[in-house]
Structure 1
């Protein structure tokens, strides 16, 4: 398979800091080589430094989304499958736009479905899924080339074991399909019934059980072990038309033994193999 590995090394508007170091660490850990050994042709494309915004979180975050949308669109035009390595989850909005995706599967420890009105901390990345669903930051999101908000009925949120009270209230009012990892294979049928044709798969790596794989400082107890996540992601690839993948939120400062990159390599290889068997 031809793959475009699109690298967006930003965390809250800052380049190559915090989670922004994660994409390069995954590459240094052999992700491209692992895919090449499995027979895939991988082209690495890095998002250029966003200039003139002085590391402002909101403006830079959406500027990164615009740049990602353009690179993803170019990837599609060249016949490559886009995999975005991102610091922040918001970057998925750019991938959605570039892929013209009409549906979304979101694996995450968190809901990321706060809005500016409900967020207890004002953390932009905690509003990433809400932005993708058109619930907030609409003028900024609509400025991303090709962006169309995903219908909540065409979204499946997997795990989300660490939700704020207002997130729980909002989710209860929406037709979002909420599943545990071990339920994903069964509940994806509800997503298919919604009539999806182009699905983006987002995996925040802190969905993992931190006792098995620690990826950042926010990891809370629970979640799947790596093998279970691999199987769930592969099931999604076999079940719905996946048009792109985002991997986010890896902070190598919390991975002293370098355990995350090889696990991510196994995850991506299994996922791509499942897509090829369709």
Structure 2
């Protein structure tokens, strides 16, 4: 499986432009490091006004293009590395992955579960409904099909009551942060291949710039250990990275994404 880089640049559930800029920073660094071309999808634009319904409707054409490009990578047995401004773009990617790899688990590295539906979401935030759409708890118009029993919420520590109720039924799996996180996650995953989603807020605040800061997260060293262990298994079918912001503040200087890329590098450097 050869790595292929996809950069999604359209607004979905953005509240500021920093996620779009951050995805571009990561993509450019990876393209240079891996000496790979970059497939760009969409153009940067201002945050979309309105509620989740309007945001989804406005973003849908570019989300469908993202799904098409990702499906092409999977069809030729490539290893997709998708750089997404916000988790909301996962509404388009996850159905594609499970269609091509129904055997794969979803390792959702995120401080949040993103398993809310429009009916039970307290915030109405589109980014908090991504996994729920992928497992068919609501219809986004972009597909579903991922079995809830093949979802692992890894590093999650800020779940809503409806999400905890699902976890209590035994699906999805939950591996909270803390000592032996990597060992616990790998034990939960077993020998199953996986698609890896990384929302940067899974990390302890201050590690990298991201919109949400939820104390009690992973260290970059733990992320690096996980990447090393998964690479040794050669079982990762794709990676997507979201919520990396280009700056610590709106008017601050651009950050260096090297530390995050170094932590993940075992997953693609040897390909």
Asked whether the two chains share a fold, i.e. TM above 0.5, the reply is yes
Residue of structure 2 equivalent to 1:151 = 147
- Taking a change above 3 Å as real, the CA distance of residues 165 and 14 of structure 1, as seen in their structure-2 partners, is closer
Change (3 A) 1:169 1:76: closer
Q: Distance in 2 between matches of 1:119 and 1:240?
A: 36
Whole-Å separation in 2 of the counterparts to 1:92 and 1:260: 25
Displacement after TM superposition at 1:226 (Å): 0.8
Question: In structure 2, which of residues 121, 129, 135 is the aligned counterpart of residue 127 of structure 1?
Answer: 129
Structure 1: distance between partners of 2:137 and 2:153: 15
Match of 2:87 among 76, 86, 89: 89
2:199 pairs, out of 196, 201, 204, with 204
Quote the residue 1:69 is aligned against: 67
**Shift in Å at residue 258 of structure 1?**
4.8
The farther-off stretch of 158-167 and 94-103 is 94-103
Q: Which blocks of at least 5 consecutive residues in structure 2 are unaligned?
A: none
Q: What is the deviation of 1:174?
A: 4.4
- Cα shift at 1:237: 3.7
**Paired positions, count:** 257
RMSD across aligned positions (CA)? 2.9
Give the structure with the larger strand fraction.
Answer: 1
Distance 1:135 1:224, change over 3 A: same
Q: 1:118 to 1:15 in 2, by over 3 A?
A: closer
- Provide the residue aligned with 1:24 in structure 2: 24
State the partner residue of 1:145: none
- Equivalent position of 1:269 in the other structure: 265
Q: Closer, same or farther in 2 for the Cα pair 1:188/1:176, shift >3 Å?
A: farther
Q: Distance in 2 between matches of 1:217 and 1:76?
A: 30
Give 1:249's match in structure 2, choosing from 229, 233, 243: 243
1:180 counterpart residue number? 176
- The separation in 2 between residues aligned to 1:165 and 1:98, in whole angstroms, is 29
- Secondary structure in 2 matching 1:254: coil
